[in-house]
């Protein structure tokens, strides 16, 4: 990209407006990553993080944290990120190769693409709800964290509230990604994934 291109970008009010709008969306992303799932004991999370950094048991927790996608570090309302939506899109792509009626929608113009988008959203909500529920079961099990309980009151109330919170967080992220596509710099889902990866490790407020 030439110097002239960047000068035109700076001088264009429309481009500056879109860039500033995207920066505002990033700020909302960061705020969401600072809000813990209701019922999570932040002090217990801090204790686990201290063990991760310790030499004696840190290796165990580091491996567990890596396989969990950094859930131990985060445990916030945006924990699932956009992965349910990406997984749904991938599953539909694979299903389209096998299921002929579904494959037709991929090549039937705008109406077919709209149907695929609706299928993707429905499947992503199903995947998100399932993942969120099983994640609450995982979080309320102290055996996973070597006896440390990170949930104040384990049980159905935490599971329901936690699941609804993470599903709502997922819907909010997807909505923000669409806003970036429509009113920001474009490619909202791609930027949403990169934003989640860059600020996803932000830890919640300490007590």
Q: How confident is the model at residue 164 (pLDDT cuts 50, 70, 90)?
A: very high
What's the pLDDT at 175?
Answer: 92
More confident residue, 56 or 195: 195
pLDDT per residue as tens digits for the range 190-201: 877 777 666 654
State mean pLDDT over 2-15: 69
pLDDT(168) > 50:
yes
Please determine, for residue 202, whether its predicted confidence score (pLDDT) is greater than 50: no
> In this predicted structure, what is the pLDDT of residue 1?
54
17 or 63, higher pLDDT: 17
10 confidence band (pLDDT: 50, 70, 90): low
Mean pLDDT of 81-85: 89
Show me where the domains of the chain are located. 34-199
Give the ranges where the chain is alpha helix by DSSP (H).
3-11, 13-33, 42-53, 58-67, 71-74, 83-98, 100-105, 109-139, 156-183, 188-199
The CATH class of 34-199 is mainly alpha
Q: How confident is residue 8, by pLDDT bands cut at 50, 70 and 90?
A: low
**The pLDDT of residue 200:** 52
Rounded CA separation 202/34 (Å): 7
Q: Which residue has the tokens 């445990």?
A: 75
Phi-psi region of 155 (alpha: psi -120 to 50; beta: other; left: phi over 0): left
């Amino acid at each position: 990209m030439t110097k002239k291109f960047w000068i035109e970008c700076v001088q264009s009010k429309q481009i500056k407006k879109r860039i500033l709008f995207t920066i505002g969306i990033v700020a909302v992303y960061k705020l969401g990553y600072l809000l813990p799932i209701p019922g999570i004991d932040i002090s217990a999370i801090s204790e686990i993080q201290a063990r991760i950094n310790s030499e004696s048991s840190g290796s165990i927790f580091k491996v567990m944290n890596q396989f969990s996608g950094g859930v131990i570090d985060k445990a916030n309302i945006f924990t699932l990120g956009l992965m349910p939506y990406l997984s749904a899109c991938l599953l539909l792509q694979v299903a389209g190769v096998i299921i002929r009626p579904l494959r037709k929608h991929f090549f039937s113009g705008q109406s077919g693409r709209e149907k695929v988008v609706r299928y993707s959203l429905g499947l992503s909500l199903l995947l998100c709800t399932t993942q969120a529920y099983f994640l609450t079961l995982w979080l309320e099990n102290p055996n996973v964290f070597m006896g440390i309980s990170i949930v104040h009151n384990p049980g159905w109330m935490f599971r329901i509230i936690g699941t609804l919170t993470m599903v709502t967080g997922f819907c909010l992220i997807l909505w923000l990604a669409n806003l970036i596509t429509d009113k920001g710099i474009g490619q909202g889902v791609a930027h949403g994934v990169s934003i989640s990866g860059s600020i996803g490790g932000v830890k919640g407020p300490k007590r």
